[in-house]
Structure 1
Amino acid sequence: MFSIVLNIIGTLLHLYVTARLYSIDAIRSRIPARAWIVGALLVWLVYFAGVRIGDEALDWRWWPGQFALTWLGILFVMALPLLAADLLTGFGFWWRAHAQKVRASAAIAGLLLAAFALFQGMRAPVIVEQEVVLKNLPQALDGTVIVAVSDIHLGAQRRSAWLARRVEQINALQPAAVLMLGDQVEDNPVGEAQLAPTLRALDAPLGVWAVTGNHEFYGDAETTVREFEEGGVRWLRDRQVELAPGLVLAGIEDIGAAMRRGGSLTGGLARTLSTPGGTATILMSHIPAGAVIDEARARGVDLMLSGHTHGGQIWPFSYAVQSRFPKYIGAHDIAGMTLYVTRGAGSWGPRMRLWQPGEIIKLTLRAPR
C-alpha cells in the first residue's frame, strides 16, 4: 500500500513539475518536445522501479531505490515555488506579460531549494548545546555532560563508516554517557562486521544506552538489539538504572505499535518508574506523545529526551508533524520538567532537510543553585 501511495504522489508531482518546466520558453526553445517527453518518461520509469524495488538491499538494487526517494524529495521541493508562481499568475491567465519570468524564477528557486535541502540532509549533523537544571541532582554531578543522539537510521543510506564519523563528533564532546533515543536502524539489522567495533569506540565512562524506536520494529528488532549489544550498547526496555549516585536513567520500549492499535501509551512508563522519589531522573522515550509527557512529569521525571519527529525534516511537513506532536522540536518546560525533542542526526526517505540540518545534543546537567 505504501509503495502504491508513493507511486501515485510521485507520478503526479513528476507530471506537474516536468510540464511546468517545459512551459518555460528558455527550455522549450532549446529542447525538442519529443526528447523532453522521452527523457521525462525514462526518469519516471526509474522512479517507478525504484519505489517497487526499495532501498534495503546493498547490491545493484540500492541505487534505484535511493534515486526514487531523492527524486520524490526534489520534485516536492521544486513543486512548491512552481505552484506559488501558478497561483500568482492564475496558471498563466493573469499577468501574461510577466508569467514567463515568474515561472522561470520559480524554477530557479526550486532548483536552489532542492540543492540546499540535499546539502542540509547530507552534511554532518551539527552540535547543539543545552544546559538543564535537575532539581534533585547532587552537587557532585553538576556539570556532567550527556550526549543524546536520535534517528540515525542506519541502513542503505548510512552505514558504519558514516556512524564512525558521528562517533568522532561525540567523543570530541567528552561525554560521561551517550544516549541513543531510537530509530538506530532504518528497519532491518545493519549486518556489518564493522558496526560493533565502531560502537565500542564510543568513549563514555557512564556507558552507552539505547531505547527502541518504531523503525527497529519494522525489521528484526531482537537481532538489531543484539548487534548493538555486541558493540557495548545497553538497552533500556521498560527499565531504569542508576547512572551515578543520585542520578537515574530510565528508558521505555517504543510506543509506535500501541499508537497504531489505539492501546495504552503509558503502561511501559508505569512499569519503569514509580511515583516521584526525590532522585534526579532522565527518561528516554523515542516518541514525544502527549500522554507519555504528562505521565513522565507526574512521576517526577526531571528531563525527558525524545526524537522521532525529525523536526518535520522537509518544510512544510513540519506543520503536519506539529499537529500530531505539539512539542515536536527543541526544549520545552513542562511544569518543571524539561522536555527536549531532537530533530535527529539522520533522515528518513529522501536524504534532504529543509530547513535545518540534523543534530547531536550536548546536555550539561546542572544542580540547583
Structure 2
Amino acid sequence: MFSIVLNIVGSLFHLYVAARLYALAPVRSRIPARAWWIGALLLWCVYIAGVHLGDAALDWRWWPGQFAVTWLGISFVMSMCLLLADLASGFGFWWRAHTQAIRAAGAVAGVLLAAFALYQGMRAPVIVEQEVVIENLPPALDGAVIAAVSDIHLGAQRRSDWMAARVAQINALQPAAVLLVGDLVEDEPIGEPQLAGVLRGFRAPLGVWAVTGNHEFYGDAETTVSEFAEGGVRWLRDRQVELAPGLVLAGIEDIGATMRRGGSLTDGLARILPDAHGKATILMSHIPASAVVEEASRRGVGLMLSGHTHGGQIWPFSHAVEQRFPKYAGAYEVGGMTLFVTRGAGSWGPRMRLWKAGEIVKITLRAPQGATT
C-alpha cells in the first residue's frame, strides 16, 4: 500500500514539475517538446523502479531506491513553490504579462529550497543544549551531562563511518551517559563488523543505553540488538537500572511492537514503574504517544526522552505530525515532568530536512533548588 501511495503521489509531483518547467519560455525555446517529455518519462521510470527496489537495501539497489526518495522530496518542494507561483498568477489568467517571471521565480525558489533541504539533511547534526531540573535528583549529580540521540537510521544512507563521526561529536560533550532513543537502524541490521569497534569508542562512565524504536522491528530486531550489544550498548527493554545512586534509568520497548503482541500502550511502564518510588527517574520511550507521556508523569518520572517524529523533517509535514503527536519537537512540561522530543540525528526517506538540521541533545541535569547533600 505504501508503495502504491508513493507511486501515485510521486508521479503527480513529477508530472506537475515537468509541465510547469516546460511552460517556461527559456526552456521551451531551447528543448523540443518530444525530447523533454521523453526525458521526463525516463526519469519517471527510474523513480518508479526505485520505489519498488527500496532505499533500505544494502547492495546496488540502494542507488535507484535513494534516487527515488530523494526525487520525491525534491519534486515535493518544487511543487510547493511552483504551486504558489501559479496561485499568485491565477494559473495564468491574470497578470499575464508577469506570468513567466512569476513562474520562473517559483522554479528558482524551488531549486534553492530543495538544495537547502538536502544540505540540512546531509550535514552533521547540531548540538542542542537543555537544562532539566529533576525532582529528587541527588545534589551529587547536579550538573551531570547526559547525551541523548534518536533516529540515527543506520543503513544504506549512513554506515559505521558516519556513526564514528557521531561518537566523536558526543564524546566532545563529556557525557556521564549516552542514551540512544530508538530507530538506530533503518530496517535491517547493517552487518558491518567495524560497527562494534565504533560503538566501543563512546566515553561515558555511566554507560551507553538504548531502547528499541519502530524501525528496529521492520527488520531482524534481535540481530540488531546483538550488533549493538557487541559494541557495549546495553538495552532497556521494559526494564530499569539504577544509573547512579539515587538516579533510575528506565526504558520501554517500542510500543508498536508491544501492541502487536496484544499489549497496550502503557504495559511497559506498568511493569517497570509500578508506582512512584521517590527516586529521580529518566524514561526512554521512542514514540511520544500522549497516553505514555501522561502515564509517565503520573508515575513520577522526572525526565522523559523520545524521538520518532523527526520534527516533521520537511515542512509543512511538521503540521501533520503535530496533529498525531501534539508534543512533537523540543521540551514540554507535563505535570511536573519534562518531556524532550528530539528531532533525531538522521532522517527517513529523502536525506532532506526543511527547515532544521538533525540534532544531538546535551542535557545537563539539575537538582531542585534547596536540595542538600
Asked whether the two chains share a fold, i.e. TM above 0.5, the reply is: yes
Structure 2 residue identity aligned to 1:105 = A
Deviation at residue 261 of structure 1 after TM alignment: 9.1
Alignment of 1:123-134 (within 5 A): 123-134=123-134
Q: Measure the CA separation in 1 of the matches of 2:14 and 2:263.
A: 39
Unaligned runs of 5+ in 2: none
CA distance in 1, matches of 2:99, 2:46: 32
Question: What corresponds to 2:242 in structure 1?
Answer: 242
CA offsets 1:36-56 (integer angstroms, 9 cap, x no match): 111111111111111111123
After TM superposition, give the deviation of residue 258 of structure 1 in Å: 5.3
Matches within 5 A, 1:327-346: 327-346=327-346
Listed one character per residue, the Cα deviations across residues 48-78 of structure 1 (whole Å, up to 9, x for unaligned) are 1111111233332211001001000000011
Aligned residue for 1:147, secondary structure, equals strand
Cα distance, 1:125–1:242 mapped onto 2, change above 3 Å: same
Q: Distance in 1 between the 2:256 and 2:37 partners?
A: 43
Q: Determine whether 1:288 maps to 2:276.
A: no
Letter in 2 for 1:10: G
Q: Alignment partner of 2:183: what SS?
A: coil
Distance between the aligned counterparts of 1:222 and 1:32, measured in 2?
55
Q: Report Cα offsets for 1:110-147 as digits up to 9, x if no partner.
A: 00000000000000000000010112011111110000
Deviation at 1:31, TM superposition (A): 1.4
Which residue pairs with 2:88 in the alignment? Answer: 88
CA–CA distance in 1 between the matches of 2:133 and 2:37? 60
* 1:198 aligned partner, one-letter code: V
Letter of the structure 2 residue corresponding to residue 50 of structure 1: G
Length, aligned pairs only: 369
What RMSD in Å do the two structures reach over aligned CA positions? 1.2
Q: 2:151 — aligned with what?
A: 151
Task: Please say which of residues 235-244 and 42-51 is displaced more in the overlay.
Answer: 42-51
When residues 256 and 154 of structure 1 are mapped into structure 2, their CA distance, relative to the original with a 3 A threshold, is same
Identify if the C-alpha distance between structure 1 residues 36 and 262 changes in structure 2 by more than 3 Å, giving closer, same or farther: farther
Larger mean Cα displacement after TM superposition, 137-146 or 28-37: 28-37
Match of 1:222 in 2: 222
Q: Distance in 1 between matches of 2:56 and 2:316?
A: 27
- Partners of 1:149 and 1:60 lie apart in 2 by 29
- How far is 1:357 from its partner? 0.1
Give distance in 2, aligned partners of 1:9 and 1:337.
40
Q: Can you give the 5+ residue segments of structure 1 that lack an aligned partner in the other structure?
A: none
Task: Name 1:355's counterpart in structure 2.
Answer: 355
Q: Flag the 1:302–1:249 CA change in 2: closer, same or farther, 3 A.
A: same
Q: Distance in 1 between matches of 2:263 and 2:235?
A: 23
Query: Could you say if the C-alpha distance between residues 176 and 9 of structure 1 is closer, same or farther in structure 2, counting changes exceeding 3 Å?
Result: same
Higher mean C-alpha displacement, 252-261 vs 222-231? 252-261
Q: Determine the structure 2 residue equivalent to 1:195.
A: 195
TM-score (norm 2): 0.97
In the aligned structure 2, how far is the partner of 1:188 from the partner of 1:165? Answer: 21
Residue equivalent to 2:99: 99
C-alpha change, 1:261 and 1:252, in structure 2 (3 Å) is closer
**Distance (Å, rounded) in 2 between the aligned partners of 1:86 and 1:180:** 44
CA distance in 2, matches of 1:285, 1:143: 23
Change (3 A) 1:229 1:177: same
Matches of residues 251-330 of structure 1 in structure 2 within 5 Å? 251-257=251-257, 264-330=264-330
Alignment partner of 1:6 is 2:6: yes
Moved beyond 6 Å, runs of 4+:
259-262
Find the aligned partners of 2:65 and 2:208 in 1 and give their Cα distance.
Answer: 32
Q: CA deviation at 1:260?
A: 7.5
